[in-house]
């Protein structure tokens, strides 16, 4: 069974159709690339899946359950996490403090338990801290736990956004341009960690929006291509690379270089 299904999803803003009749299936354990030129509808698709916008038409199924129009915080609780380029970081917090914020949906401690901590709440906070440290160690940035986020190199800031998403224990991970603006060594580092996540959690699915075509072609099992809000092709990297419609719309342009 597909972990995510988009069934005839459309999203219009006034008279502008940002996404139209989009069908996509994402299987457990796969990395799906979502590509296309600027304005193709990729970000709108991400926003619709993650609950930022309700679709104008169509259905979204997650693990067989209809989540169409579900609010963003409920989508997160369902097991869908999304990274942004850097906007989710708290730059004046430490690396560890940033990851701890990713557990906020798991925290149930209210005012009284914070003023008068119980053994249960203390134990819960200790457990969450250890889980956050485990994520940082897994991504190989545990040694940076006390560093301020604003002082990290750009590539490590990207890893921190990934760590915050993993704190939500997602079964679907949506990555928004994870290597955009990075140099070659940082790109290799991010790719390595994405593959490490996939290998560690074989049932997790990853949807990747990215303009770096070598990365997309090397890391994705399947690729869906959008143009002007419509899916124009879907298939393996080999099939997409040789598809004439894709070449004309995207791969042959300077955006894909």
Give CA–CA dist 90/93, Å, rounded. Answer: 5
Give pLDDT tens digits for 59-75: 999 999 999 999 999 99
Domain-located, residue 36: no
Domain-located, residue 252: no
Is the dihedral angle over the CA atoms 61, 66, 71, 75 positive or is it negative? negative
Supply the pTM of this predicted model.
Answer: 0.88
Q: Give the residue-averaged pLDDT of 146-152.
A: 97
In the prediction, which pLDDT does 109 show?
43
- Please state whether beta strands 4-13 and 16-26 pair in parallel, antiparallel, or not at all (unpaired): antiparallel
Give pLDDT tens digits for 214-240: 999 999 999 999 999 999 999 999 999
Sheet bearing 205-209, strands edge to edge: 80-83, 172-176, 205-209, 31-35, 222-227, 230-235
**Domain count along the chain:** 1
Residue 142 structural domain = 94-163
Backbone φ and ψ for 126, nearest 5 degrees, come out as -65, -40
Mean pLDDT value across the chain = 90
Domain-located, residue 246: no
- Please state whether beta strands 222-227 and 230-235 pair in parallel, antiparallel, or not at all (unpaired): antiparallel
Domain-located, residue 119: yes
Find the Cα–Cα–Cα–Cα dihedral 179, 180, 185, 191, rounded to 10°: 10
């Amino acid at each position: 069974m597909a972990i995510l299904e988009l069934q005839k999803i459309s999203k219009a803003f006034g008279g502008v159709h940002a996404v139209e009749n989009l069908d996509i299936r994402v299987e457990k354990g796969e990395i799906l690339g979502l590509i296309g030129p600027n304005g193709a509808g990729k970000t709108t698709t991400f926003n619709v899946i993650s609950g930022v916008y309700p679709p104008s038409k169509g259905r979204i199924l997650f693990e067989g359950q209809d989540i169409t129009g579900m609010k963003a915080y409920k989508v997160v609780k369902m097991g869908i996490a999304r990274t942004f380029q850097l906007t989710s970081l708290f730059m004046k917090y430490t690396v560890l403090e940033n990851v701890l914020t990713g557990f906020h949906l798991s925290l149930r401690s209210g005012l009284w338990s914070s003023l008068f901590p119980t053994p249960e709440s203390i134990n819960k906070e200790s457990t969450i801290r250890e889980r956050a440290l485990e994520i940082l160690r897994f991504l190989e940035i545990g040694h940076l736990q006390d560093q301020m986020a604003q002082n990290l190199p750009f590539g490590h800031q990207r890893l921190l956004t990934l760590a915050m998403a993993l704190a939500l224990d997602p079964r679907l991970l949506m990555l928004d341009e994870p290597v955009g603006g990075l140099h070659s060594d940082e790109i290799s580092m991010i790719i390595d960690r994405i593959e490490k996540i996939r290998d560690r959690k074989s049932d997790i699915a990853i949807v990747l929006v990215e303009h770096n075509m070598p990365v997309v072609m090397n890391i994705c099992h399947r690729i869906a291509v959008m143009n002007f809000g419509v899916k124009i092709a879907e298939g393996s990297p080999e099939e997409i690379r040789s598809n004439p419609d894709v070449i004309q719309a995207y791969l042959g342009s300077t955006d894909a270089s």
